[in-house]
Amino acid sequence: NAGVTQTPKFQVLKTGQSMTLQCAQDMNHNSMYWYRQDPGMGLRLIYYSASEGTTDKGEVPNGYNVSRLNKREFSLRLESAAPSQTSVYFCASSRPSGANVLTFGAGSRLTVL
Amino acid sequence: AQSVTQPDIHITVSEGASLELRCNYSYGATPYLFWYVQSPGQGLQLLLKYFSGDTLVQGIKGFEAEFKRSQSSFNLRKPSVHWSDAAEYFCAVGPGGGAQKLVFGQGTRLTINP
């Protein structure tokens, strides 16, 4: 099984450009998440989807939108990229039970000039 | 508010030495606690987790962690580190049921001296 797959792995944007990060999981997990990782700040939750058809804001949602396309796919969109959005983005998924654990993708490194 | 503090940003130990990485949390309910490891350029891999029961939990790669409710701590330990343990380590806390909206610590970068 591939687990959690993110595309693209690297992207360079200019300020004001838009882009979408794609995420897909093949583990039949119900919940999916987008985190960003910045030096010295750990990982911070941007948006999550507890189940297909629902999305909710996390700790740092400003400047982002998400779409839970189906049970497998959860995309993150930057409508007008800003240098402050330069970061490494991680998608993760989990089952909705008390013993569930997040499985992470390999990450997408985004640079906004 | 939920929070996780990893007091040590960077730790250097010699190969074969013992290791302890500190994690303190603030959480309103019974916490579900995790340690993840991230090798350079990679995603995060689960080392171990604590939900309930025995407060000393064993994980992969010879790691263990102890939950101490009175100290709000969940420190990670390894008796003898290997060069391959060089990585960044993250402690996280979450609600358990439903969507796992984990709150992560800042991370501790581990360097191993040969």
Task: Name the β-bridge partners of B4.
Answer: B25
DSSP secondary structure code for residue B30 in this structure: P
Q: How confident is the model at residue A89, as a pLDDT? A: 97
CB contact under 8 A, B101 and A40: no
CB contact under 8 A, A101 and B97: no
Nearest-neighbour CA in chain A from B42: distance (Å): 5
DSSP A26-88: -S--SEEEEEEEETTTEEEEEEEESSTT--EE-S--TT-EEEE-SSSBEEEEESS--GGG-EE
The closest CB to that of A106, out of B43, B98, B102, belongs to: B43
The average pLDDT across A32-55 equals 93
Q: What is the mean pLDDT of chain B?
A: 92
CB contact under 8 A, A106 and B98: no
Strand spans (E) along B7-105: 10-14, 19-21, 24-26, 32-38, 44-50, 56-58, 64-68, 73-78, 87-94, 103-104
Q: How far is CA B43 from the centre of its chain?
A: 15
Q: How confident is the model at residue A17, as a pLDDT? A: 97
The closest CB to that of B106, out of A40, A97, A99, belongs to: A40
Could you tell me what percent of chain B has a pLDDT over 70?
A: 96
Instruction: Please list every residue in chain A whose beta carbon sits closer than 8 Å to the beta carbon of residue B98.
Output: 31, 50, 96
Asked if B11 is an interface residue toward chain A (Cβ–Cβ < 8 A), one would say no
Q: How confident is the model at residue A99, as a pLDDT? A: 55
CB contact under 8 A, A33 and B101: yes
Q: How confident is the model at residue A49, as a pLDDT? A: 93
The average pLDDT across A20-44 equals 94
The average pLDDT across A88-100 equals 81
User: Exposed, middle or buried: residue B109 (CB in 10 Å: 0-12, 13-18, 19+)?
Assistant: middle
The average pLDDT across A49-73 equals 94
- Categorize the per-residue pLDDT at B54 as very low, low, confident or very high, splitting at 50, 70 and 90: confident
The average pLDDT across B10-39 equals 93
Contact yes or no for B63/B77 (Cβ under 8 A): yes
DSSP secondary structure code for residue A9 in this structure: S
